[in-house]
Amino acid sequence: MKKHLLSNRNPRSFPLVWQCLLTVIFTGLLMPTALLAQATSTDSTKTQTIYSAAPVKPQYPRVVGYVSFILPLETLSGGKFTPNFSDHTSTIGFPIGVNVLYSDHFGFSYEFTPTIKASGGTSKMSNLLFDPGTMFRFDHGFTIITRLAFETSGRYGFTPVFNQVYARTKAVNYFVALSLPTRYGNSAPSSIGLNLQIGFIFN
């Protein structure tokens, strides 16, 4: 009986078994590679999504322009305070400038301000101011600008400016600023004032 069973065994059945076994082994070896490739592809897609969602950093140097208007609120000269709207006289300026931004924290500003003075029922352009200055930029849109000042009226000096961006859009950023114009020269006593400036910067 034992001999009969051994004689009925097909010797060619062993290669088929080995083929099945090798197929299972290779499949097992290849499956982790396929899963790893799929995971890598998924991670790569996630990474690309994360990078694409990250904000794009601005390129420097960058040049932006701005327009605004400025109102002198009060001026101290010769020990006397003079408000802007005293004696039926008012003054308003229109600063127009260009900012060259070198980094997130530093820039340089070039500004021209024509001034219109209204008094006694008439008005005229009374002065043109050129006041370039360095910009020290901080977080949350706050900037300190240290300006020199040169006026066609013959006055000169410097103007520290404290600037704050209060609203942002895709096209422009709106800002408000307080400045302390300090002036000398032209046979007049030295003076210091307080100005309010409002405007917008083109992005």
* For residues 36-46, average pLDDT: 47
Structure tokens at 60: 């420097």
**Would you state the CATH architecture of domain 62-202?**
Beta Barrel (2.40)
Residue 9: band (very low, low, confident or very high) from pLDDT cuts 50, 70, 90: very low
* 117-133 pLDDT, tens digit each: 999 889 999 999 999 99
pLDDT at 120: 85
pLDDT at 125: 95
Structure tokens at 162: 């404290």
pLDDT at 15: 54
pLDDT at 195 over 50: yes
* 128-165 pLDDT, tens digit each: 999 999 999 999 999 999 999 999 999 999 999 999 99
pLDDT at 40: 46
> SS3 for 17?
helix
Residue type, 69: F
Residue 58: band (very low, low, confident or very high) from pLDDT cuts 50, 70, 90: confident
pLDDT at 140: 94
* 64-118 pLDDT, tens digit each: 999 999 999 999 998 999 998 887 889 999 999 999 999 999 999 999 999 999 9
Q: How far is CA 91 from the centre of its chain?
A: 32
pLDDT at 147: 98
Residue 55: band (very low, low, confident or very high) from pLDDT cuts 50, 70, 90: low
pLDDT at 144: 98
Mean pLDDT of the chain: 83
Structure tokens at 153: 């009226």
Give the burial string for 125-146 (b: 16+ CB within 10 Å, else e). Answer: ebbebebbbebebeeeeebebe
* For residues 48-58, average pLDDT: 59
* For residues 13-34, average pLDDT: 49
Taking only Cα atoms into account, the Rg of the chain, rounded to an integer number of angstroms, comes to 38
